[in-house]
Amino acid sequence: MATPADDLSTPAPSRDMVAVALRRILPDESVLADDESVRPYECDGLSAYRRLPLIVALPNTVEQVCEIARCCRDLKVPLVARGAGTGLSGGALPLENGVLLSLTKFTRILDIDPANRTARLQPGVRNLAISEAVSHLDLYYAPDPSSQIACTIGGNVAENSGGLHCLKYGLTVHNILELKVVTIDGELVTIGGQALDAAGYDLLALMTGSEGLLGIIVEVTVKLLPKPECAKVIMASFDDVEKAADAVGNIIARGIIPGGLEMMDNKAIRAAEDYVHAGYDTEAAAIVLCELDGTPEEVDDDIRRVEEVLQRGGCTDLQLARDEAQRMAFWSGRKAAFPAVGRISPDYYCMDGTIPRKRLGTVLNRIDALSEESGLRIANVFHAGDGNLHPLILYDGNKPGELELAEEVGGKILELCVEVGGTITGEHGVGIEKINQMCVQFNAQELTQFHAVKEAFDPGRLLNPDKAVPTLHRCAEFGAMHVHKGNSKFPNIERF
């Protein structure tokens, strides 16, 4: 399978040369420089893409990160920062001529300020560990990706991660206040601040979701929220996927903003139920999970209104979690959906696109048609409330051509998202997985501006090169094979 070629003009120095330079900064044991030692870093959660890094560096201080950045700049060696490696778009894929900078030793919670409801963290702190550390204060950190038990806050910022409760409480970008970032020149800069607003350009939002292309995140200050007084979950079963999708839109149309609003189709339901025994209706074509939180009075009123919407929408069964244990059981199936699907197929390809809620039914039907056309099963699990789809395309990597077919189907799904007014990612990022579809969503002028931003932060194009933003030359080549609405969006472009 083809992966983006490194197009840096200066050949990278040898492994030995880079290792010698890095060992002037780090202890010998913190510089991994042989194939066996670097192999655990050959991919991220998107395991279909694999590539051995030249060297892995394991710093444990910010000063060491600064020195490593300067070293790579001087040697003109590409540098890829990596957290826990749970990403699903190939964003942390290493380069064969580059240094992989692992931040797994940065695991300290530096400060908790309950009065201001903030926590200051190193980037290697696990997402779930934040809420665990402040639970005794009746506080928590809202963004909760399905991988929250393992994923780290630095990676969450790099990908602008979401989670089950992002509909009401926002993505990572809405829940952080300040970043400390190391530039490719080895400078430590502070972006954002403790105040609600700051003068100048909003570089905090720019850095969040930048996928390691602009700087290396070494500290994050997050917002903490008080735990809701009350939270209840309704599970509704439907005999038709489109009815379930319409019900999701109708809940929002009633002015109700649930704490979480999720949907799963029958393939995902069956896999999750077999895996965790969450109490799901395995005969349903789709289920909707809707969590309401707030004061007991607010929750009871919202429950009544949501039940009314779901019943009018044609649900075949309605269950209100009877207690906290059942509420957690309902969510356990949704959070375990990805590994559960992994039990029913040798491999799966997880997509991530976002569409307007009103187009959910239409898009799900077209995904089903793509499944029939390709012969590959597709299980759908997604954050229905904000239209963030996660189709899981099931394939067998041992069968010649099946991975390529899964990639082709995935690309068509992303292009469908753009066609109906959506976008090619909601929380997984672009990485290398969706880089061709960036050519579908954005025109040449827009991509040129993206490159201008990259140039301002990283003129040598050393930070995570060939990820997230395609060159115009790449788009011209892609456009030769893929005509958008009858005309190539990148005619006669030879190079960026």
Torsion sign (Cα): 73, 75, 81, 87:
positive
> What CATH number does domain 345-419 carry, 3.10.100.10, 3.30.70.2740, 3.30.2130.10, 2.160.10.10?
3.30.70.2740
Residue ranges in the chain whose pLDDT is less than 50: 1-8, 483-488, 490-496
**Does domain 109-226 correspond to CATH entry 1.10.1040.10?**
no
The token duo for 72 is 């790579």
Q: With beta carbons less than 8 A apart as the criterion, state whether 167 and 257 touch.
A: yes
- Where do the structural domains in the chain lie, given as residue ranges? 15-102, 109-226, 230-339, 345-419, 435-481
Q: Report the CATH number of the 15-102 domain.
A: 3.30.43.10
How many Å apart are CA 172 and CA 158, to the nearest integer?
9
Question: What is the structure's pLDDT at 7?
Answer: 47
Q: With beta carbons less than 8 A apart as the criterion, state whether 267 and 391 touch.
A: no
Residue 102: helix, strand or coil by DSSP?
strand
Provide Rg for the chain, Cα atoms: 23
How many Å apart are CA 416 and CA 431, to the nearest integer?
19
What is the topology classification, in CATH, of domain 230-339? Alpha-Beta Plaits (3.30.70)
- Does 345-419 match 15-102 at the fold level? no
- Residues of the chain by 3-state class (helix, strand, coil), percent to 5: 40, 20, 40
Write the single-letter amino acid at 470. Answer: P
264-to-88, 282, 328, 396, 410 alpha-carbon distances in Å: 19, 11, 17, 22, 18
Q: Is the pTM of this model over 0.85?
A: yes
How many Å apart are CA 439 and CA 144, to the nearest integer?
30
- Give the ranges where 96-240 is alpha helix by DSSP (H): 127-134, 153-159, 166-169, 203-207
